[in-house]
Homo-oligomer: A and B are copies of this chain.
Amino acid sequence: MSSSHDAPSLPSPLPESAVLRAAYRARAAAADLAPLPRSVKDDALLAIADALVVRTKEIVEANARDVARARAAGSSETVIDRLTLTRERVAAIAADVRDVAGLPDPVGEVVRGSTLPNGLDLRQVRVPLGVVGIIYEARPNVTVDAAALCLKSGNAVLLRGSSSAYASNEALVKVLRDAVGGAGLPADAVQLVPGESRESVKELMRARGMVDVLIPRGGASLIRTVVEQSTVPVIETGTGNCHVYVDAQADLPMAVEVLINSKAQRPSVCNSAETLLVHQDIAEAFLPLALAALAEAGVTVHGDERVLALAERTGSKATVVPATMEDWETEYLSYDIAAGVVDSLDAAVHHIRLWSSGHTEAIVTTSQPAARRFTQLVDAAAVVVNASTRFTDGGEFGFGAEIGISTQKLHARGPMGLPELTSTKYIVTGDGHIR
């Protein structure tokens, strides 16, 4: 091969930025990973699971340093709980990796195929995305989950966790890389983004052409920053301002159960409900039951004028405070719910269109036409009829695992499993066909 086009696969000199150097190495690893068959990838995942168990001690010790730092910094118990790794938790993480090994490999799936009128054979097959960047908060389990899902789908992964979990992530990624390398795969397929500074996130967001997609997982402000500043394509995840709408005709005990489960089964997650909307025709019958159940679940109600008036008139024991405009757009993630009475199903749809984050919207109704109209008109990743909003989840949907819940419309919407970590390519085969 002539020297004039035998350029090195890495630029020489390598970029000065440690983040870009990591991305270049990930790119080379991704090219090696892409054609690997399932068995090789699964063996690597099982090696990871084994290594996590064998090397639990060094992981837990590194984690203890992060936890001590967090305590010294006065972090809340919730934050410390999320950050903490124990022997049991590491074992559970390893078990999750084994589960990922058991899932079908999306790579190579023929999405569509046909023989064209001219005799050309056309196949559209799933291929890995390439290099996936994950930006996330102080949950070390995400380090392993994300790496396992990316490896299984043939992708290299760049992990940028919270600096408050840096020691834990460093220890985990060391274990992962050793196991991956030991299984004959390129260790550079799993890398921690070097550096704890915000600068490293910025560099990752500008690594267009080297990183194929960025998936921010975490709070709304992190996601907004990445979405606005990244030139790398982003998949927006996780913000959930979810509504439960109780229609004019509804099974009242079912409506109460769905409401309470949607709000209070686990209020801190994105698929919990944040607003209750009630059709005016059923408000007198339903709201007293709903307010009583919400009170019992410890939920504070931020009610509109009609909810406030009804609560007062019926002597409800619930805590009901006046709703402001802000309440309609707030993702509380707490034992709070906004509540309003609407004139019609269309008014509920209109309210949802204005305020929803497009995650999950539920209707409780016995009317088939109402269910049909609601599912047609409401534009969200998931529209739920007579069930809790809490079901929007990769595990519940039977995907086996999820890398996040997309609230955008491009590429993936809703819970993202392994197929959502892939792209496709067309393979066209002929006998010398020309146009």
Contacts and interface: CB of A to CB of B under 8 A. Distances in A.
Interface stretch (A40-48, A164-172, A322-330): A322-330
A116 B398 contact: yes
Interface in A389-435: 390-392, 396-398, 408-411, 413-414, 423-435
Interface in A96-122: 114, 116-117, 120, 122
A386 B4 contact: no
A1 B343 contact: yes
Interface stretch (A17-25, A70-78, A374-382): A374-382
Interface stretch (A189-197, A286-294, A347-355): A347-355
Contacts of A228: 208, 231
Contact of A376 (B35, B257, B305, B381): B35
The number of times this chain is found in the oligomer is 2
Contact of A354 (B7, B355, B381, B398): B7
Contacts of A386: 429-433
- A-side interface size class: 35 or more
22 contacts: A1-B342, A1-B347, A35-B376, A117-B398, A124-B414, A130-B409, A208-B227, A212-B409, A233-B233, A233-B410, A254-B431, A258-B432, A258-B434, A364-B432, A381-B425, A385-B430, A386-B432, A388-B435, A390-B434, A392-B426, A410-B410, A410-B411
Interface of A: 1-7, 9, 31, 34-35, 114, 116-117, 120, 122, 124, 127, 129-130, 208, 212-213, 227-228, 231, 233-235, 251, 254, 257-258, 261, 265, 304-306, 323-325, 328, 340-343, 347, 350-351, 353-355, 364, 371, 375-377, 379-388, 390-392, 396-398, 408-411, 413-414, 423-435
